[in-house]
A and B are shown apart, each in its own frame.
Chain A
Amino acid sequence: MKHDFQALRLDAVTRRFAGAGGKAFNALQELTLTIKRGEFIALLGPSGCGKSTALNCIAGLLPLSGGSIWLDATRIDTLPPEKRGFGMVFQNYALFPHMSVERNVGFGLRMRGAAGSEIARRVGRALKLVQLIGQEHKLPGQLSGGQQQRVAIARAIVIEPPLILMDEPLSNLDAKLRLETRSEIRRIHRELGRSTVYVTHDQDEALSLADRIVVMKDGVVQQIASPQEVYGEPANLAVARFMGYRNVLDMAIEAQNGDRVTLAAGNIRLIGARKQALVGERASVAIRPEEIALGEGPGGENTIAGHVDNVEYCGRDSLIDVMTPSGTRLHVRAPTHIALGESVHVHVPVERALVYADESA
């Protein structure tokens, strides 16, 4: 396998499985994506949305039901995994139970026929990178979950593959180690200048690591965009929900003026920014808890009155539930201390009230 490429192109990659009752369903539906050399792609989505399936298809561990995969001008979706030469960190590690940490990490190099001294040097470096020095001679069964995960990472990066596929590689680490390993992965990626496809259901991980994020739901791609765009301008309500727009209000459309939409529900009136073509009389407004301001004076545009219904202390700030008189619950994140039952006004910036087509439509 040549050890470099300009672009890996996924063309309508589809994978079907026999579902319950023998009915086939698409675990991955027409994923089309071009991964440029050196790019860091995050596959983001809830559990069961087809992330691992996509990764397995790229690695060659699952045959495609449709579509094709191209490495520059070569079609590779018919090649076995060992001919593709992509590194992979498995979701359940898949460490070789009968080999020591050292031999696990060195396996890929041995398969490539590297010299003994070369293997020792590179394995040592990889183990240092994932902070596993001193564990070289243990068997995987003698390691903690987090240590196993780091062996899996080391085993995949040590062969310096042109593309490295990672399936939730940090899921089992504690908060501190997760942050450290995260920056380590980003650094390794930058240093090697290789491409990475990184599967996660953690939006923070995706936002902090990726050059581009692919958001998936039920096997279908929802949005492919930069972290800033996915965070600030979700393509649809599903992405918005997943990206932490916890307030989704179903409202009636009163007026539309350019991309400004005026909506009403009960005694709430909101002006928002349209993100999608609207049909019918209703629309959904998505607002992030941290973009709602608490305690603005009454009367202004986009101001909602209510009382504090619940407060969750989160350290730097608090998660406050505000209940409006008409019974709508708003989640607000604010660095304020506030008592339960207190009357408050909240303000929603027009730009940050995102209006999407009604979910039920």
Chain B
Amino acid sequence: MTQAHALARAPFDRTLLLVVPAAAFMLLLFIYPFLYGLGLSFEPKEGGALGNYSHFFTTDNLWPTIWTTLRLALPATLINVGLALPIAYKMRIKTRYQRWITTILVVPITLGTVLIAEGALTYFGPKGWLSQTLQLSHIYDGPIRLTHNYWGVLISLVISGFPFAFLLILSYITGIDPVLARAAATLGADPAAQFRHIYLPLLAPGLAMCFCLAFVQAFSVFPSAVLLGSPAGPTRVISIAAYEAAFEQYDYSLASAIAMIMGFVQLLIVAAVLGLRNLFYRGPVVGGKG
């Protein structure tokens, strides 16, 4: 109490100085490049200040990349969050197997996207284990194409994004006092109702957060879109367009503009989801004293 008073009266809290290195770091490595890129994007090789932007939205191999990327990132995010939620929910009760299952589910996080792409190529490829198994066992005899197209990239996004979503949701779920579900049970709520009325609403803000992080991660997909997709066609995502502008046409100004557009689209989606999040209760998740 007395300490709190002292803090309230203190003219300057010197522990705040600890923020300085981080702030400088942000300024140098994030804000400065961002502002630099923003400025650069308004100085096109030809045309007025908005030349790059009008070029992007009128060129047939540029503006559709937004749509292509969303078509990959949104389903991948939905799948990841949607899969992680029920599994994490099951894992909330400590059992002997919980640690093992959690470990196995989380392993892909330690693999790089390139490594995952390599593995996926051999596993899901036309001569990979999956198609050979399916064909040998005559479950499915047609040609299976899961690489060098849309599906290859989607699969890789799910593999690399799932552990992340799972861990995040698991930590949200274990933060919810299980006594709340028990209280609901004594009031007549069966397990499904307990999930719907207690866990889901309390998880909703966390799920929104998880969705945003997973989405941003998926939206900037690059290596797997090149390695596992068909970067000239159906998986020509926006980061490929930016890459080409910068390193094949050496048009850094256009590349900056594309990066800005990419950031803006992400921001739109994140803002929309976080806006929805405000509709839910976001306070502490405990049932009373103690």
Contact = CB atoms under 8 A, between A and B. Distances in A.
Interface of A: 59-61, 80-82, 84-88, 90, 92-98, 107-108, 111-112, 139-141, 145, 148, 152, 155-156, 159, 172
Interface stretch (B32-40, B195-203, B219-227): B195-203
Interface string B174-193: 00010110111111111001
B186 A145 contact: no
A85 B188 CA distance: 6
Chain A residues touching B, majority SS: mixed
A82 B198 contact: no
Contacts of B182: 61, 81, 90, 94
Nearest to A62: B182
Contacts of A107: 184, 187, 189, 197
A64 to B, nearest CB: 16
Contact of A148 (B189, B285, B288): B288
Contacts of B286: 97
Given A94-B177, A97-B202, A98-B281, A159 B287 contact: no
A224 to B, nearest CB: 25
B288 A152 contact: yes
6 contacts: A60-B186, A82-B188, A82-B190, A94-B182, A112-B188, A156-B187
Given A98-B281, A111-B189, A172 B289 contact: yes
B185 A80 contact: yes
Contact of B183 (A88, A98, A159): A88
Given A81-B186, A82-B185, A88-B183, A98 B288 contact: no
A156 to B, nearest CB: 8
Interface residues of B, number: 27
A140 B285 CA distance: 11
Q: Looking at A80, A94, A145, which has the most chain B CB atoms within 10 Å of its CB?
A: A94
Contacts of A61: 182, 185-186
Nearest to B194: A82
Interface of B: 177, 179-180, 182-190, 193, 197-198, 201-202, 280-281, 283-290
Main secondary structure of the interface of B (DSSP, over half): loop
Nearest to B288: A93
B284 A96 contact: no
A112 B187 CA distance: 9
A90 B288 contact: yes
Given A90-B179, A92-B287, A98 B201 contact: yes
Contact of A81 (B180, B185, B284, B288): B185
Contacts of A172: 289
Contacts of A108: 187-188
Given A88-B183, A90-B183, A92-B179, A97 B188 contact: no
Given A98-B202, A111-B193, A139-B281, A92 B185 contact: no
A97 B281 contact: yes
Nearest to A161: B186
Given A90-B179, A107-B197, A139-B281, A96 B186 contact: no
Given A93-B289, A98-B281, A148-B288, A111 B188 contact: yes
Contacts of B179: 90, 92, 94
A102 B182 CA distance: 19
B194 to A, nearest CB: 8
Contacts of B197: 96, 107
